[in-house]
Amino acid sequence: DAKTTQPNSMESNEEEPVHLPCNHSTISGTDYIHWYRQLPSQGPEYVIHGLTSNVNNRMASLAIAEDRKSSTLILHRATLRDAAVYYCIRRGSYIPTFGRGTSLIVHP
Amino acid sequence: NAGVTQTPKFRVLKTGQSMTLLCAQDMNHEYMYWYRQDPGMGLRLIHYSVGEGTTAKGEVPDGYNVSRLKKQNFLLGLESAAPSQTSVYFCASSPIVYTGELFFGEGSRLTVL
């Protein structure tokens, strides 16, 4: 099963860090972990990806567990514009499979 | 640089009518995908293509047909629309490598009455 497991929703206050977890216990050794987010009424957009090492970019950080069975997307300072649905997917086959993702609510 | 463009963005159909959604990408990507998204749901894959002239079924292919005659275009057809096909449709494309990110269009909102 290529799907991942994420909490349905999470809440945060503005300017606080947010840690969004993802479980991918059946991941294979060559699968990458990708994160996307979907703002209201828009298509999903790429956030970050990684294989084994932690990754940073201008949008977020990705922490991957040593056994690669889970990962965490870190938004260092949440803003109201970060309110979106965040999807964690495995990327290693032709067919990227999306679950329902985590709906992030950011309070002012 | 347009990325992934979907047309039309909105459409209302009557039950039994047919229509085609067009997805065009200008990034020379090999892979293209059609997803549907229903309220409160994630994205479900309808059909996908791994290259020009190829198509394959995804998770929810019934009632849809696709064609990829040109590498840059991926068409999604509804031969006889049903109310259950009311949804938002997203097209995506990606390069061939596992690290390649998916690029999504803005979506096409279809209502079948």
Cβ neighbors of B39 (< 8 A, separation 6 or more) are none
Q: Is the pLDDT of residue A53 over 80?
A: yes
Q: How far apart are CA B45 and CA A73, in angstroms?
A: 24
Cβ neighbors of A58 (< 8 A, separation 6 or more) are none
Q: Is the pLDDT of residue A49 over 80?
A: yes
Q: Which of residues 23-52 of A touch B (CB under 8 A)?
A: 30-32, 34, 36, 41-46, 49
Express as a percent the part of chain B with pLDDT over 90. Answer: 88
* Mean pLDDT of the residues in chain B: 94
**Contact (CB<8Å) B98/A30:** yes
Express as a percent the part of chain A with pLDDT over 70. Answer: 96
Tell me the nearest-neighbour CA distance from B20 into chain A, angstroms: 19
pLDDT of residue A1: 59
Q: How far apart are CA A65 and CA A95, in angstroms?
A: 24
Task: Kindly state the average pLDDT of the residues A58-87.
Answer: 95
Q: Is the pLDDT of residue B96 over 80?
A: no
pLDDT of residue A20: 98
Task: Kindly state the average pLDDT of the residues A20-36.
Answer: 91
Q: How far apart are CA A30 and CA A45, in angstroms?
A: 23
Closest CA to B44 of B56, B35, B33, B34: B35
Q: How far apart are CA B8 and CA A29, in angstroms?
A: 40
Q: How far apart are CA A102 and CA A73, in angstroms?
A: 11
Express as a percent the part of chain B with pLDDT over 70. Answer: 98
Cβ neighbors of A22 (< 8 A, separation 6 or more) are A4, A5, A6, A33, A35, A70, A71, A72, A73, A88
Encode pLDDT of A75-102 as tens digits.
Answer: 999 999 999 999 999 988 668 889 899 9
Q: Kindly list the residues from chain A whose CB atom is less than 8 angstroms away from the CB atom of residue B10.
A: none
Q: Is the pLDDT of residue A2 over 70?
A: no
Q: Kindly list the residues from chain A whose CB atom is less than 8 angstroms away from the CB atom of residue B41.
A: 100
Q: How far apart are CA B36 and CA B101, in angstroms?
A: 19
Task: Kindly state the average pLDDT of the residues B37-55.
Answer: 92
B77 contacts B89 by C-beta, under 8 angstroms = no
